[in-house]
């Protein structure tokens, strides 16, 4: 691990929540996908292996509502060797899958719910029907319902800490990334910058949401970088 300075901003005590890091792949113009929003490939083969290692080292992997419902991610460790390594260390083959979604309208046959041996946790709101909540719970999903219009991320991370999650990996999307950053709930940000341009005003970016004024910008400290043969660059930032 890299050494980290104390953060000058107000943030939730890290003894009350998991160590939280965002991992994101973007193009050189900061886009996570094309305007079609169909999960366009950005990461190189090498970067996919790096991300798989990060997943294997995490206790849980979190995604936001749009990513969860539109992309239906598996959030599993792909490498047999890494899964075996986790089991040898007394862990489940895959980290806990965590979804943060205002209306949890997941399909019963979704990959998120069914692929890979892993605990599934969903944070949602009372906009999700009681029938859907009971259906999810009958499938063994841990569902936490917040009465707010949106999921309270501070409470959600606090609950994950109570569930034993010490290291939380966040894989988007942009709205979830932004809210976690805005609330001071992120310890590190790792970004793979691919040598390509997507363009498009409506194409999703690494951080979306309402945005911040320049005076309120989230400061980052570069703590690591790597340049790959394909021209892609990995940048690692500390927010502490």
Pick the CATH number of 19-238 from 1.10.357.10, 3.40.430.10, 3.40.50.1970, 3.40.50.300: 3.40.430.10
The Cα 186–Cα 7 span in angstroms is: 11
What is the spatial distance between Cα 131 and Cα 104, in angstroms, rounded to a whole number? 11
Task: Please state, as a whole number, how many other Cβ atoms lie within 10 Å of the Cβ of residue 47.
Answer: 19
pLDDT in tens, 35-75: 998 888 999 999 999 999 999 999 999 999 999 999 999 99
Map residue 137 onto helix, strand or coil: helix
pLDDT at 7 over 60: no
What's the Cα-to-Cα distance from 185 to each of 56, 160, 188, rounded to whole Å? 21, 13, 10
Six-digit token string for 156: 């959600």
SS3 19: strand
- Report DSSP state, residue 149: S
Distance of alpha carbon 46 from its chain centroid, rounded? 20
Q: What is the pTM of this model?
A: 0.91
Q: Identify the CA nearest to 226 among candidates 216, 215, 238, 234.
A: 234
User: Are 96 and 60 a contacting pair, CB within 8 Å?
Assistant: yes
Question: Contact 180/20 with Cβ under 8 angstroms?
Answer: yes
Amino acid 8: pLDDT: 30
pLDDT of residue 172: 87
Domain ranges of the chain: 19-238
Per residue in 145-193, pLDDT tens?
A: 999 899 999 999 999 999 999 999 999 899 999 999 999 999 999 999 9
- The model's pLDDT over 37-48, given as tens digits with 9 standing for 90+, comes to 888 899 999 999
Phi and psi at 48, nearest 5°, equal: -60, -35
């Amino acid at each position: 691990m890299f050494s980290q300075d104390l953060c000058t901003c107000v943030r939730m005590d890290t003894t009350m929540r998991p160590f939280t890091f965002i991992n994101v792949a973007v193009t050189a113009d900061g886009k996570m996908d094309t305007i079609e929003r169909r999960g366009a490939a950005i990461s190189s083969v090498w970067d996919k292996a790096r991300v798989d290692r990060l997943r294997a080292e995490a206790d849980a992997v979190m995604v936001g509502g749009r990513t969860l419902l539109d992309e239906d991610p598996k959030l599993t460790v792909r490498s047999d060797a890494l899964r075996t390594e986790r089991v040898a260390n007394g862990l489940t083959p895959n980290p806990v899958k965590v979804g943060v979604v205002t209306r949890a309208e997941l399909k019963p046959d979704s990959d998120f719910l069914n692929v890979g041996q892993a605990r599934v946790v969903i944070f949602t709101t009372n906009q999700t029907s009681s029938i859907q909540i009971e259906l999810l719970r009958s499938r063994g999903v841990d569902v936490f319902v917040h009465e707010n219009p949106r999921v309270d991320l501070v409470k959600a991370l606090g609950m994950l800490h109570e569930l034993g999650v010490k290291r939380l990996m966040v894989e988007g999307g942009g709205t979830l990334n932004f809210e976690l950053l805005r609330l001071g709930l992120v310890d590190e940000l790792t970004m793979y910058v691919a040598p390509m341009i997507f363009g498009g005003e409506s194409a999703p970016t690494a951080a979306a949401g309402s945005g911040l004024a320049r005076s309120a910008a989230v400061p980052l400290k570069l703590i690591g970088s790597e340049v790959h043969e394909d021209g892609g660059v990995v940048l690692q930032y500390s927010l502490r």
